[in-house]
Structure 1
Amino acid sequence: MIDLTITGDDVAHVVLNAPKKRNALDPQALAELSAAYDEAEAAGVRALVLRGEGPAFCAGRDIGGVDPATDDVTGYLDGLVTPLLKKMSAFPAPTFAAAHGACLGVGLGLLIATDVVYVADTAKIGSPFAALGATLDSGGHALFFDRLGAHKTLDLIYTGRLMTGAEAVQSGLFSQVLPEDEVRAATEAAASRAAGGATQAFLASKRLVARLRDERLALWDAVAAENANQTALRDTADYREGFAAFQQKRKPEFTGR
């Protein structure tokens, strides 16, 4: 279900590989996905790409065979999904996702927990739960409210209408929209460039953006955090290399240290 490869440019490639069920996630798949992130972190990769095989990125939870009368919703969401999303969000390297087709439910949550998301023009993003008598989960409310406001968020939830990839990017949900046959290559190229960059500096920005999101830092608190980051980065090899390369008018060779 979940494939992991690590390429020579120190990029981990995590692939949801159950195309016949549109990469819907059952408990076993969630455990495998969590293990893939653990393995990639242990390998010390400098970037990570997440994508899905087949016609969809991820259609959400695999509810085939689930009895709604005895469904352990808490065990699935609190016990499996939320810990995974937190692990993904805190992954100690830049992360990228290539999304196409259905990106729904937990699948949308995987994208929310990824640093940079490139979506295909064929992507379908929204809240399909109206037809299930259930509600949007995996961080969807927070993302939609923050980027779309209350009215459009509730319109999407009440109607079940799905946004295209272009509409999602225009609304500020994700980074770029691309033709479906280009999104994977573009995402992998971006990850490879990041892996060759000053990844300690990237991680400083990643942590600060998380604080801006979660703590809603005021302007001067954010400036103070930036200043502290810059001071800490001064002692890294990449900081010294970047300055030396600029002064010597050559391309820097960053090592992530």
Structure 2
Amino acid sequence: MIELDIRPVTGSTGTEAQIATVTLDAPDKLNALDLEGLEELRAAYGVAETAGVRALVLRGEGRAFCAGRDIAGVDAATDDVPAYLDGALTPLLQEMSAFPAPTFAVAHGACLGVGLGLLIATDVVYVADTARIGSPFAALGAVLDSGGHALLYERLGAHRALDLIYTGRLMTGAEAVAAGLFSQVFPADEVDDAAIRAAETAATGATQAFLASKRLIQSLRDERLGLWDAMARENQAQAALQATADYREGFAAFTEKRPPIFTGR
């Protein structure tokens, strides 16, 4: 159900690195995820982290990214909701968010419920024009989960977030990008390649600096830092990067008027 591919890439300056592609591969059920699927996905990220990849791409096979939780055979009366959400999903999303390399996702077709949560936990999301994003839970008598309330409220405000939740209307990929939910929109037949190109560029770049920026952005989101606190964190990050080989290489390359060769160290 979850496929993991790790391959080497070479940058324009000859820098070598590895990137991982994680594929949700259950197109017959629109890549919906049950407990076993969540565990497989968590394991794939663990293998990629152990392998030391310098970028990761998450995608879905078939006509959807992920339609949410796989509820086939689930009895609503006896379903252990906390086991799925608190016990499996939230820890997975936390680990995905903390993955120690730049991460990219390809959003196409249905990106709902758990699928939306996977996108929220990814650094950069490239969206196909065929994507459908929102809250279908009005028809289930359930509440939007997987971090969807936080995303919609933060980016759209209370009125537009609740409008989507109450009506169940799904946004197109272009609407989602225009509203600031995600990064860029592409034609469906181009979005995979766009994400791979971006991952290859990041993997052969100054990944330690990228990780510092990733942590800073997460601090701004989670701790609601003010300007001066955020600036202090930036200063601390810059001082820490001074000890890295890539920092010294970047300065040397600038002085010598040549492209930098970053190694991720």
Q: TM-score range by the shorter chain?
A: over 0.9
Out of 143, 151, 158, the position equivalent to 1:150 is: 158
Name the SS for the 2:143 alignment partner: coil
1:76-133 Cα offsets, whole Å, 9 max, x none, are 0000100000000000000000110000000000000000000000000000000011
Q: Could you tell me the TM-score, scaled by structure 1's length?
A: 1.00
Show the counterpart of 1:24.
Answer: 32
Show the counterpart of 2:21.
Answer: 13
- Per the TM alignment, residue 22 of structure 1 is displaced from its structure 2 partner at its CA by 0.3
1:158-203 Cα offsets, whole Å, 9 max, x none, are 0000000000000000000000000000000000000000000000
Show the counterpart of 1:4.
Answer: 4
Matches within 5 A, 1:28-47: 28-47=36-55
Tell me, which stretches of 5 or more residues in structure 1 are unaligned? none
Show the counterpart of 1:253.
Answer: 261
Matched, 1:60 2:80: no
Percent identity for Structure 1 against Structure 2: 75
Matched, 1:210 2:198: no
Show the counterpart of 2:169.
Answer: 161
AA of the residue aligned to 1:168: A
Show the counterpart of 1:219.
Answer: 227
Name the SS for the 2:70 alignment partner: coil
- In structure 1, distance between residues paired with 2:152 and 2:264: 34
1:127-166 Cα offsets, whole Å, 9 max, x none, are 0000011010000000000000000000000000000000
- In structure 2, distance between residues paired with 1:245 and 1:98: 33
Name the SS for the 2:239 alignment partner: helix
Name the SS for the 1:4 alignment partner: strand
- Where do 4+ consecutive residues of structure 1 move more than 2 Å? none
Q: Could you tell me the TM-score, scaled by structure 2's length?
A: 0.97
- In structure 1, distance between residues paired with 2:231 and 2:140: 45
- In structure 2, distance between residues paired with 1:172 and 1:204: 23
Tell me, which stretches of 5 or more residues in structure 2 are unaligned? 10-17
Paired residue total: 257
Show the counterpart of 1:51.
Answer: 59
Name the SS for the 2:225 alignment partner: coil
Show the counterpart of 2:198.
Answer: 190
